[in-house]
Structure 1
Amino acid sequence: MSESSAQNAAEPAASAAGSAAARSAAPGLTTAQRNAVAELMRVSPVADELGRRFARAGFELHLVGGSVRDALLGRLGDDLDFCTDAHPDDTLRIVKGWAEATWETGREFGTIGAQREGLRLEITTFRAESYDQITRNPVVEYGTNLVDDLRRRDFTINAMAVSVPGHSFTDPYGGLADLAARVIRTPGTPRESFGDDPLRMLRAARFAAQLGFTVQPDVYAAMVAMAADLDRITAERIRDEFTKLLCGADPITGLRLLVDAGLADRFLPELSGLKLEIDEHAQHKDVYEHTLIVVSNAVRLEGPECDFILRMAALMHDVGKPATKAVGSDGRVSFHHHEVVGAKLTKQRMKAMRYPKDVISQVVALVGLHLRFYGYGRGEWTDSAVRRYVADAGELLPRLHKLTRSDCTTRNRRKARQLATDYDALEERIARIQEEEDLARVRPDLDGNAIMELLGVPPGPLVGQAWRHLKEMRLERGPMDRDEAEAELLRWARTQGIAG
């Protein structure tokens, strides 16, 4: 403790000087924002209680990183991050009997988790870790002081701390000023930071999407120069960062950064591949620009919470176009069956990124269905076609409505109005048929037991074939009464040589 105490004795002056410098350099940050962390302590006594327990045990404790950043931005949640000079065994001893629950899943990285009064607390020993530069896995070494711990963090806006229970503010790398200026900068050089963990390049784009901040030129230059280092990061870690980026308040900014810096080429090359493909609907922009507009439209239509499945489907809906591009004798560009190719590519890419099977299946289904609506306005759809549209979409129908509407990006106002009117008419027609026929539960008019009894056959593939035939008839004709359904089943059975 002596070395740590000596270091901390020097910190208040440096901390006060840093805070004064930050205040003078950050006129855009309001008093209310500067006081947000202190207000957090007032309304959340749990942090102070924990700080006093650490102090009584002879250790220091600091609210740190994203928790401080989010408190200053007025968006703090129920997850609080702390750092300390106490080692994991010490932390466990301190929180024993006070925490309602503890977990040690991050123990190898010096992190102990605890829960108290609805708050999730993660307490991590000061780090001075390095990376092996091959796998990019951290080699954890415990540090001895707060300032060194803050230096190893990804960005300056995440390198601020507030002590508990003392509430002194530590900002050695100008994070407060960068927060006010809305910029993303690293505590050390960008190359050092990204060399330690290349995932931080993806995180920079994610923060740009989440917070609307601007990546500093030297940070961007390092992202471009070191993009290939992302290959050493596991698919799961990349997936998690990308998901957060796509669910950001401004995913378009983050996606552009990924493409422009060459990061997308390392894990989502289909996105960059859209950039040179001219969209047949509007030749003033390429498919890449069209796709970003569709994502933006989907964000607007999705509702109060991020709908990752809808956003991902919007992002991937046209990835089949490069492989299906053709130019006719009249010079017109076409992309026939690009939705089929796109669905296959989407499945392959999301599997490679280790997304769960249920998430993949929903995104793939939406990509495969996104063109189904076009042509409806020509009056060619029968009630049977509407039933099939609803049945094929299933539970994804509300998302398919939003995706289809998002895909209308034409600047031709007359055409845009007509498409919107046509889809309004389709939704009204669906609602009418649903009310009459309960389309959400389209199924054959006879179940498996009735089929076996009527045909006199045991369970097996034949029953499934008969069931599927009856479902096709249900979609084609609408509901049938019992006598009609039995007559249709017997007619089909005769064609199969089953009944006389």
Structure 2
Amino acid sequence: MNPFPIPKALREYGRVFRDAGRQAWLVGGALRDMILGKKVNDWDVATDAPAREVAKMFPRVIPTGLQHGTVTVLWKGLTIETTTFRVDGNYGDGRRPDSVTFTSDIREDLRRRDFTMNSLAYNLETGELLDPHQGRADLAAGLVRAIGDPLERFTEDGLRPLRAIRFASQLGYRIDPDTLAAIPRTLENFRRVSIERVRDELVKVLLSPRPSYGLNLLEETGMLPHILPELSACRGVEQKGFHRFDVLDHSFLSCDGAPDKIELRIAALLHDIGKPAARAEGPDGLPTFHRHEELSARAAEEALRRLKFSNAVISAVVHLVRHHMFAYDDSWSDAAVRRFLARTGPENLEDLLALRLADAYGTTGTPPDPRGLDPLRKRVRDLLERSRALSIRDLAIDGNDLASLGVPRGPVMGRILAELLETVLDDPELNTPERLLDIAGKIKGKYGV
């Protein structure tokens, strides 16, 4: 009986190789995840067939890396990355092999891989499972272990140390002591890795079930200052008051407390990175961090641009960090709530509230009662049902209407529209063309019109 739930289409894929007198082995993350009972999204197959031969065996093939023996085959709804058995040459740049030598031995191919958990192979035709490096035992033991000498593996590819931490974080595994000890000794090689590859691994750490585990490993191994020096600088910055932790541990725990949405996880991690620069001593001798949210927003933007995140992610994170210090209570007037929404955007409210809960979790290490945010949520809902005029574009008049009053286009018109918005935020009932034109006619004189 087949011990693994191999899709029918993948078995048929293997038969094409059998009929051509070739081998096809399921390898890599697909086999690892199948053993762990996880959903498999990406299929990797290793074969003794040269890539150009594979390309002739199937009608839909993408030549993703012919020089390294790799093609991507689109087959019956599956996307299968298929690579010829190979042995890697020297890694002159610490990122990729200078040359590859193709081989007919699957065991030689498995020997070049990074970790034991990724060095298993399952023959799609015979059902044979190869495990030359005891990867299955390490999976059962919850262990991330490099194949052979970890110093050699990490010298070959500078990203592998970060991948070790990422796997540990994603799976909740320990890192083998020898493998862990090799990470600080290969940091120079890690620094040569492209920032995009580093960013992608960092995202996977942050989306782990408990990102603080991986983040603490980054700090322990000395990798964190090379990725986020601004965050590393938060170690030892004490906060006192309700806070049980320094700024770095608070940030790590806040990340744990955020929903698994990357913008929220990053915002929770970086929301206080301006505190080292904002720190001052108050009259009582305790530290203060006035307006640290502005410094944090600027530092977060700089860090995320350096890591080459998308503009959309950067914009969302910076906005959340900049506005995370709101202090709502029942004394807020309706106008104050509307101004809060005008600044933050009603579409961002739920993310901002989620960040507030994550921040609270990072303060004590215990989950806060989310019901404490319900009064603000209800207040916002009630106010939006009455009026959604929160920006200049929501006003009942526009620049053309002001021009009809003789207001010139340019800065003066912008200032008059801004004053009209403030008027409407105070009293939404004034948001009609007649009343706004009347107000504009009365105030334009003070702007020299």
TM-score under structure 2 normalisation? 0.92
- How many Å apart are 1:392 and its aligned residue? 2.2
* Local SS of the residue matching 2:309: coil
Contact 1:434 1:440 in 2 (8 A): no
1:11 corresponds to:
none
1:445 corresponds to:
395
2:439 corresponds to:
488
| Residues 1:387 and 2:350 aligned together | no
Tell me whether 158-167 or 467-476 shows the greater mean CA deviation. 467-476
Contact 1:125 1:142 in 2 (8 A): no
1:230 corresponds to:
190
1:139 corresponds to:
98
Instruction: Assess, with a 3 A threshold, how the Cα gap between structure 1 residues 441 and 126 changes in structure 2: closer, same or farther.
Output: farther
Q: Which ranges of structure 2 fall in alignment gaps of 5 or more residues?
A: none
Instruction: Assess, with a 3 A threshold, how the Cα gap between structure 1 residues 348 and 105 changes in structure 2: closer, same or farther.
Output: same
Map residues 85-484 of structure 1 onto 2, 5 A cutoff: 85-96=48-59, 101-134=60-93, 136-144=95-103, 145-282=105-242, 284-298=244-258, 302=259, 306-371=260-325, 373-374=326-327, 376-377=328-329, 379=331, 381-394=332-345, 395-409=347-361, 410-411=363-364, 423-438=373-388, 443-448=393-398, 450-456=400-406, 460=410, 462-480=412-430, 481-484=432-435
Distance 1:159 1:257 in 2: 24
1:75 corresponds to:
38
Distance 1:179 1:363 in 2: 35
* Local SS of the residue matching 2:39: coil
Instruction: Assess, with a 3 A threshold, how the Cα gap between structure 1 residues 366 and 131 changes in structure 2: closer, same or farther.
Output: farther
* Local SS of the residue matching 2:444: helix
Contact 2:389 2:425 in 1 (8 A): no
Contact 1:48 1:165 in 2 (8 A): yes
Distance 2:86 2:418 in 1: 61
Distance 2:90 2:413 in 1: 60
Distance 1:388 1:131 in 2: 61
- How many Å apart are 1:269 and its aligned residue? 1.4
Contact 1:309 1:359 in 2 (8 A): yes
| CA displacement, residues 163-221 of structure 1 (integer Å, 9 cap, x when unaligned) | 11221101100000001001000111110110111111111111111111111111110
Instruction: Assess, with a 3 A threshold, how the Cα gap between structure 1 residues 464 and 119 changes in structure 2: closer, same or farther.
Output: farther
Distance 1:57 1:460 in 2: 73
Q: Which ranges of structure 1 fall in alignment gaps of 5 or more residues?
A: 1-34
Instruction: Assess, with a 3 A threshold, how the Cα gap between structure 1 residues 253 and 404 changes in structure 2: closer, same or farther.
Output: same
Distance 2:418 2:90 in 1: 57
- How many Å apart are 1:485 and its aligned residue? 1.3
Distance 1:180 1:105 in 2: 34
* Local SS of the residue matching 1:188: coil
* Local SS of the residue matching 1:227: helix
- How many Å apart are 1:406 and its aligned residue? 1.6
Q: AA paired with 2:360?
A: C
- How many Å apart are 1:411 and its aligned residue? 4.5
Distance 1:465 1:74 in 2: 61
Distance 1:268 1:93 in 2: 46
- How many Å apart are 1:131 and its aligned residue? 4.4
| CA displacement, residues 287-331 of structure 1 (integer Å, 9 cap, x when unaligned) | 112112211211xxx2xxx30000000000010011111112321
* Local SS of the residue matching 1:148: helix
- How many Å apart are 1:366 and its aligned residue? 0.5
Distance 2:71 2:418 in 1: 54
Distance 2:147 2:314 in 1: 38
Distance 2:4 2:364 in 1: 48
Q: AA paired with 1:315?
A: L
Q: AA paired with 1:335?
A: F
Distance 2:279 2:51 in 1: 58
Contact 1:199 1:230 in 2 (8 A): yes
Q: AA paired with 1:323?
A: A
Structure whose residues are more often helix by fraction: 1
Distance 1:158 1:134 in 2: 23
- How many Å apart are 1:241 and its aligned residue? 0.7
Contact 1:131 1:197 in 2 (8 A): no
* Local SS of the residue matching 2:32: helix
* Local SS of the residue matching 2:79: strand
* Local SS of the residue matching 1:83: strand
Contact 2:402 2:440 in 1 (8 A): no
Q: AA paired with 1:75?
A: K
Q: AA paired with 2:86?
A: R
Percent identity of equivalent pairs = 35
| CA displacement, residues 52-89 of structure 1 (integer Å, 9 cap, x when unaligned) | 21222232111001111000111132321111122221
Instruction: Assess, with a 3 A threshold, how the Cα gap between structure 1 residues 491 and 107 changes in structure 2: closer, same or farther.
Output: farther
Distance 1:182 1:412 in 2: 25
